[in-house]
Amino acid sequence: MTSLCVSLSEALPGLDVRDGEADRLSYSRDLWPRHHLAVRAGNVAPSKPAAIAWPRSTEETAALVSWCAERGVAMVPFGAGSGVCGAILPGQDALVIDVKRMDKFRRIDRDARVVDVETGYMGVPFEERLGRAGLTLGHFPSSILCSTVGGWIAGRGAGQCSGYYGKIEDMVVGLEVVTGKGEVVQARARAHGASLVPLLIGSEGTLGILTSATLRVHPAPITRALASWSFRTTEEAWEGMREIFQLGLRPAVLRLYDPFDAMLARMGAVKKPKVSKNAGSDDDGVIPGMGASVLRTMLQQPAIFNELVDSKWGGMALGGALVVAVWEGVGERPSRELSAARRIMERMKGRYDGEGPAARWLAHRYSVSYRQAPVLRSGLFVDTFEVAAPWSKLGALYDGVREAVRGKAFIMAHMSHAYPDGCCIYFSFAGSAGPGNAPWDERCEERYDAIWLAAMQAANRAGATVAHHHGVGRSKAPALRAELGAGVDVIRAVMKAMDPGQVFNPGNLQSTKTMGGSQELQPPARGVAIDVASLLAHAAGETTVSAVEEALHAEGLTLGFDTFPKADVTVRAFIDGGLGGARDRWHDPVDQDVAGYMARTPQGKLVTYAPGPRRAAGPDLFGIVRGAKGKYLQVEHAWLRAHRIGVERPTAPHAHFDRDPAITREEAAILDGIAVSVART
């Protein structure tokens, strides 16, 4: 046994801790495709943890963390290991802490529509348990078969039904966390004040161990309505999607596939049975009738393949773009909204294709998660890249990333998560080794790294976030500085405050490499700049909210507040005061009040959160901006969400819980510590 395992067994006799070779190997990494390339090359696990522990309760976790923190032992929280960004890469002296034995339902409150659940609960059993109570969380990630509640929260994930239920951050009412000092803290979400909850969501194991979550749930759906449309071009299709969301409709699923991805979706997106092969064939069933060696050769020079698919005639031959939609809920809402969507999509030149493609998608919605292995066995590589931007920037984002990658890999895309102000583009790429004399796998790794760098740079230039729902890990960490500016320094300051010994998942969300570039944006030259396509109003912090409203009215738009602030209230004061008068955000989980902002640290460093519908780029610093009265960051300008005048706002089933619970002594102490740490940044 390793010395760590022996010491832990003696100090905490009831704790299950092991250091067997199989366990250490299994917990040495997550599902980052970059790891898969190393494994294929024979480099299976260069850095295995010293031991793995399985605590059964919050109390046992706290005792374990205290023991490790006192001795400086690095700890890596672990759910089910299904992350794809390299967040799990423990050092040889680290302890991996698997939370899956903390899997109890502590409370189900049907009237309040909240549940308390421990974070080790696996996805499918969790939804089944809710279903027996007539409820649903509405969170259905592609990884639901192999992921935990805690993993969803730590990675700031999105489910396939985010169009109605929102992302995971729109579902968290409160969190229980064990900090780096071994203290147990109950953190609560607040509509109008500072909160630790947005910092913990997306923290990827760097701020503490999440042991329990209080989540908002919905009545389980009773009815569904399905539809699909074909469009000549991808751009025409996403304009239809934009109209659907901006006119107040909320399909649970609204997915747009570009022509090649649409062809796969029309085929059913399922793996066909293998046919018999001639002896000696290396065809691994990656593409029917095409040998792996031929595909490897083609993808060494993918530009021609991309040009063919991107051409007008190529798109037509593939059948054009495809949109699939699923509404779900109770009563007549699903069918009523589908009828309204049909009118919108047909006005936007979409051809109604019935429910067939949507039904096929629904039947095989998780199949794509198991299609990587054949590609890797064929000597190729495949990965995905999920980015998000306002509608006005979607074209530049789509074209920019494709142009950056087309010479290095075959690339296709679908729009997987839409919102009133923007959309997520989910790129998929497949590649082969680049030129050179180095071994095949080494050349694959070099090209893979070049693709990721080019794609992240292109997304940054387009004004997008490089992480919508997969998180950051180590794969996207080099892009954080370009996206967040000094926000990276503030995140590190939060880490120091909550984990003084820096023992939680060291190295994650951080990188010694920087990508270059910046999303620093300037305030509007005159008053208020309005992005009509994205329904956003950009104003300097000293601009009055009434001036923003006046400018919006000229465009047929409004901020849509329940109670409008006084005439002299500025945008900065509105945010510092906690968005007073704004509509309850729990009414429409898909929406938001502030889409982006820029702020200064006490030392004058610039934090940049360019406007976007949603992001998963680490902890959300808006938790210490909204309602914080400038204690941590000074807002310089912001992008506020606007609404079309006369459009009825959606309202989800009401959830009865306190929107602004009092700050506890433990929360206050941590928030004060964060303020001190940020002030030194």
Contact 217, 113 (CB under 8 A): yes
Beta strands 536-540; 634-641: pairing state: antiparallel
Residue 170 belongs to a domain with what CATH number?
A: 3.30.465.10
Does the pLDDT at position 462 exceed 50? yes
In the chain, the number of structural domains is: 3
- At position 606, the amino acid (one-letter code) is L
Enumerate residues 6+ apart whose C-beta is below 8 A from 527. Answer: 539, 543, 547, 551
E strand or H helix at 635, and its extent? strand 634-641
Given this model, what pLDDT does residue 282 score?
44
How many whole angstroms from its chain centre is CA 166? 11
157 found inside a domain:
yes
Between CA 486 and CA 481 the distance in angstroms is 7
Q: What is the pLDDT of residues 263-302, one digit of tens each?
A: 877 775 444 444 444 444 444 444 433 466 777 777 888 8
Between CA 110 and CA 670 the distance in angstroms is 32
- Domain enclosing residue 567, as ranges: 528-679
Between CA 31 and CA 384 the distance in angstroms is 12
Q: What is the pLDDT of residues 532-574, one digit of tens each?
A: 999 999 999 999 999 999 999 999 999 999 999 999 999 999 9
Phi (first) and psi of residue 661, to 5 degrees:
-65, 150
Contact 475, 452 (CB under 8 A): yes
- Residue 177's closest CA among 132, 118, 109? 118
Contact 130, 220 (CB under 8 A): yes
Contact 208, 499 (CB under 8 A): yes
Residues 169, 42, single domain; the answer is no
350 found inside a domain:
no
Model confidence band, residue 512 (pLDDT cutoffs 50, 70, 90): confident
Task: Return left, alpha or beta for 208; rule: phi > 0 is left, psi -120 to 50 is alpha, else beta.
Answer: left
E strand or H helix at 353, and its extent? strand 351-354
E strand or H helix at 10, and its extent? helix 3-11
Task: Name the domain boundary from 198, 219, 240.
Answer: 219
Between CA 277 and CA 49 the distance in angstroms is 42
Phi (first) and psi of residue 384, to 5 degrees:
-130, 160
Residues 557, 652, single domain; the answer is yes
Task: Name the domain boundary from 52, 68, 98.
Answer: 98
Contact 472, 204 (CB under 8 A): yes
Model confidence band, residue 394 (pLDDT cutoffs 50, 70, 90): very high
Residues 130, 47, single domain; the answer is no
Q: Is 194 helix (H, G, I), strand (E, B) or coil?
A: coil
Residues 627, 589, single domain; the answer is yes
Contact 649, 233 (CB under 8 A): no
Contact 607, 384 (CB under 8 A): no
Enumerate residues 6+ apart whose C-beta is below 8 A from 82. Answer: 30, 31, 143, 146, 147, 151
Taken in order 210, 215, 220, 226, the sign of the CA dihedral is negative
Between CA 240 and CA 346 the distance in angstroms is 9
Model confidence band, residue 513 (pLDDT cutoffs 50, 70, 90): confident
Given this model, what pLDDT does residue 270 score?
42
Task: Name the domain boundary from 160, 188, 219.
Answer: 219
148 found inside a domain:
yes
Residues 83, 119, single domain; the answer is no
Residues 598, 665, single domain; the answer is yes
Query: Concatenated DSSP letters for 310-348?
Result: HSHHHHHHHT-EEEEEEEEESTTHHHHHHHHHHHHHHHT
- Residue 209's closest CA among 103, 58, 48, 68? 58
375 found inside a domain:
no
Residues 59, 114, single domain; the answer is no
319 found inside a domain:
no
Contact 90, 27 (CB under 8 A): yes
Percent of the chain with pLDDT over 90: 83
Residue 64 belongs to a domain with what CATH number?
A: 3.30.43.10
Given this model, what pLDDT does residue 285 score?
40
Average pLDDT over every residue of 173-192: 97
HEC-encoded secondary structure of 156-189: CCCCCCHHHHCCHHHCEEEEEEECCCCCEEEEEC
Residues 74, 109, single domain; the answer is no
- Residue 427's closest CA among 374, 387, 460, 479? 387
Given this model, what pLDDT does residue 289 score?
39
Q: What is the pLDDT of residues 127-164, one digit of tens each?
A: 999 999 999 999 999 999 999 999 999 999 999 999 99
Which has more pLDDT, 224 or 275? 224
584 found inside a domain:
yes
- Residue 174's closest CA among 119, 110, 229, 244? 119
252 found inside a domain:
no
Model confidence band, residue 367 (pLDDT cutoffs 50, 70, 90): confident
Enumerate residues 6+ apart whose C-beta is below 8 A from 129. Answer: 105, 121
pTM above 0.85, yes or no: yes
Average pLDDT over every residue of 590-597: 97
Residues 534, 665, single domain; the answer is yes
Among 216-225, 280-289, 632-641, whose mean pLDDT is lowest? 280-289
Residues 184, 52, single domain; the answer is no
Query: Concatenated DSSP letters for 121-168?
Result: -BHHHHHHHHHHTTEE-----TTGGG-BHHHHHHTT---TTHHHH--G
Residues 41, 182, single domain; the answer is no
Contact 155, 202 (CB under 8 A): yes
- Residue 168's closest CA among 192, 208, 203? 203
349 found inside a domain:
no
- Residue 664's closest CA among 203, 153, 195, 206? 195
CA angle 397, 398, 400 (to 5 degrees): 60
Residues 537, 668, single domain; the answer is yes
Give the tokens for residue 193: 């004040």
Between CA 167 and CA 163 the distance in angstroms is 9
Q: What share of the chain is helix, strand, coil (3-state, %, to 5)?
A: 35, 20, 45
DSSP-assigned letter for residue 254 = E
Percent of the chain with pLDDT over 70: 95
Summary mean pLDDT of the chain: 92
